[in-house]
Structure 1
């Protein structure tokens, strides 16, 4: 990768049964966090789904800006009675969630199938 190339964050939304799945790929840092914040804003996430799954399987790095956004999503969702689950196997992401204690507030699972409710 060219060191001067900007980091791109790819985000997509989809419905999977009763869950709203937000798939994120790239790196989440101060430069890309505003885009993630917009994509996880209350008006962008279908909280009627009852569960919001943030799939970070393709995220290689997350810093405090991204962790703050996840904490905010957790708080807002809890106030509305909506569950949030994070999907990742990435060591760097799991470690950041663990160090901050977010993994004690938000369930973290290894794959999407584990995150989705049984139908």
Structure 2
């Protein structure tokens, strides 16, 4: 299932289940104007509990709004007895997570294969 982003399609979230984990694959630019599909996907995943892996390898940009959505999603998923893990952080997105210290809040995997392996 692909949840479209804003009308200009700058951001997308694909949701699927792989080996018992929910996998969210993010693409494009995650910012104030495009974060709502991510919030919706995280809320749905929190309702399921279990393991959630967010593939960020297709994300070109993430601002504080995107980071905030992920942090709130992590709390909701952990409150439901699940976990939220990140995979594929790279480029400016990885730098933002490193500078803010958010990379120490989430389990971070090099890629989806490592996360699911």
TM-score category of the 2 structures, normalised to the smaller one: 0.7 to 0.9
Q: Give ranges in structure 1 of 5+ residues lacking alignment.
A: none
Q: Give ranges in structure 2 of 5+ residues lacking alignment.
A: 1-6
Is 1:12–2:22 an aligned residue pair? no
1:98 CA drift (Å)? 1.5
What residue number does 1:103 align with? 103
- Does the residue aligned with 1:31 lie in a helix, a strand or coil? coil
Q: Conserved in 1, the CA contact under 8 Å of 2:39 and 2:73?
A: no
* Greater C-alpha Rg: 1
Taking structure 2 as the reference length, the TM-score comes to 0.84
- Deviant stretches of 4+, over 3 Å: 46-49
Write the distance in 2 (CA, Å) between the matches of 1:46 and 1:83. 9
Give the number of equivalent residue pairs. 111
Write the distance in 2 (CA, Å) between the matches of 1:35 and 1:15. 17
Q: Conserved in 2, the CA contact under 8 Å of 1:47 and 1:82?
A: no
User: Over the residues paired in the alignment, what is the CA RMSD in angstroms?
Assistant: 1.9
Segment of structure 1 superposing worse, 90-99 or 66-75: 90-99
Taking structure 1 as the reference length, the TM-score comes to 0.83
